[in-house]
Amino acid sequence: MRLLSALAALVALATAAWFALGVRQAVDVSRASSLLSQQAFGPAQADRAGSLLSSASTLNPDSTVDLLRASLAVRTGQAQRARSILLRLAGREPLNVLVWFEIAQTSSGDPALQRTALSHVAQLHPNVAH
């Protein structure tokens, strides 16, 4: 009986820790998103957003963190890094229309990639292409 109680307490503790981590990740994603949406965006905001996204990515399979990382790369003048992040994400989630749209947005220097991305957008969400 004592072993069962200890096991139940351990499961409850692990569940609470997992929940707390999830809440923390959601808060960090929200804060990073807020920073990235500000007009005034400098090195301090970029560092803070990067730190928040690093924290939010712990055991987090959600694509939102990578999308925000790509946005951060764009905001800091690293378009190639943004495309690299987005292309990796497209490989994991080929049906994610937002990823393909972002690839198209960041690929103005690569017309072939931009056409490919826009083709995916049109296939996945025909109303966007109009």
* pLDDT tens digits, 19-57: 887 888 888 888 988 888 888 888 988 889 888 888 888
In contact, 24 and 31? CB cutoff 8 Å:
no
Ranges of residues in the chain with a pLDDT under 70 are 128-130
Domain annotation for the chain: domains and CATH numbers: 2-129 (1.25.40.10)
Q: How far apart are CA 96 and CA 73, in angstroms?
A: 20
- The crossing angle, in degrees rounded to 10, of helices 64-75 and 97-106 is 10
* pTM of structure: 0.77
The per-residue pLDDT for 99 is: 95
